[in-house]
Amino acid sequence: MIRLLKIELLKVTSYKAFWFMIGFYLLLLALMIFGIPGLIDYVAEKSGEPTQFRIFKAIVFNFPDIWQNIAFVASFRYFIKIILGLIVIILITSEYHFITIRSNIISGYSKNDFLLGKIEFIFLLGIVSTVVLFLSGLYLGFIHSSSTAIGDIFGKMIYLLAYFIELVTFLLFSLLWGVLLKRTGLAFIGLFVYLIAEPIIEYNLPKVISPYLPLNAMNNIIQSPNTSLIKVKTPDFNFDFQEFVSFTDVSICVGYAVLFVFLTWWIIKIRDI
C-alpha cells in the first residue's frame, strides 16, 4: 500500500498546477480560520459595542467548542473543499489524457492497484487538511480559551474526525466524476452542475428524503457551530444547535463513500483503457 502511495506522490511532484492549488488551498484554509478573530475585532470596532463581540470571540475560540466551530467553517458546503475536489479531478483526468493509466497497467499495475493508489492519495489529502485544522485550533484555542485543561483541550475533537470523513467522501465523489467523464473540463462542468442541481432537486423533494441526497448527507455530519457556551451566554437565542456527531449521519456519509468507490471501480473495470 505504501508503494502505491509513493508512486502517486512521484506523479504529482511534476504537476506545477498541483503544487499551486494545494498551496492555495492550505493558505486559504489558514487565512479563513485565522482571519475570523481579526474580522470579529474589526466588526466590534465599527459597531461601537466591543464588549459583546469580545464575549462572542471568547465563545467561538474556547476549548473544547473551537473544534466544532473551525470544522464547521472548513467544511461549510463547497466553499474551499472544492479546490481539493478539483485537484483530484485534474490528477485522475491527467492519467487518461497522457495515457499513463495504460502504461501503468502494461507495466504490471492492476486496475485495482490504480484505483487503490488514488484512494490512498485522497486519504493523504484528508489527513493533511485535518492536521492543518488541528494545529490552527490548538493555536487559537490556547490564545483565546479561558481553560486549558486536558479535558477541555481534547473535548469535542470528534468533530475533526467528522470533518475528515466528510472531506474524504467529497473527494471520492470528485474522483468518480473524473473517472466517469475522463476529460478535465467535462469533469469540472459535471461536478459544478451537480453542485447547483442538488439544491434544486432537494427543493422539489419531500423533506424526509432530501437529507439523504449525497451532498446533504456529507454536510449533515457537521450542521452548526458552537453549542454550549452560546446557549449559556444567549439563553433566549432560538437556534437548534448541534449537540453531537450523529452516528446515523456518519454512517450515511460512509455509505456514500463506499458507493462512490464501488462505482469508480466498476467504471474502471468495464472500460477499455
Domain count, the chain: 1
- Cβ–Cβ < 8 Å for 144, 37: yes
Query: Taking the complete model, does pTM exceed 0.85, yes or no?
Result: yes
Rounded to an integer, the average pLDDT of 4-23 is 83
103 pLDDT more than 80: no
Domain assignment of residue 23, given as a range = 2-270
- Which of 1-15, 168-182, 192-206, 232-246 shows the highest mean pLDDT? 168-182
pLDDT band at 239 (very low <50, low <70, confident <90, very high): low
- Indicate the residue type of 75: S
Instruction: List own/partner pairs for 214-218 with CB under 8 A and 24 or more apart.
Output: 214/173, 214/256, 215/78, 217/249, 217/252, 217/253, 217/256, 218/166, 218/169, 218/170, 218/173, 218/253, 218/256
What is the rounded average pLDDT for all residues in the chain? 84
**Across residues 178-187, what is the average pLDDT?**
94
In this predicted structure, the answer to whether residue 250 has a pLDDT above a threshold of 90 is yes
* pLDDT tens digits for range 57-94: 667 778 888 898 889 888 876 678 888 999 999 999 98
Cell numbers linked to 223 = 450542521
pLDDT tens digits for range 143-162: 877 777 888 888 889 999 99
* Contact indicator for 215, 195 with CB cutoff of 8 Å: yes
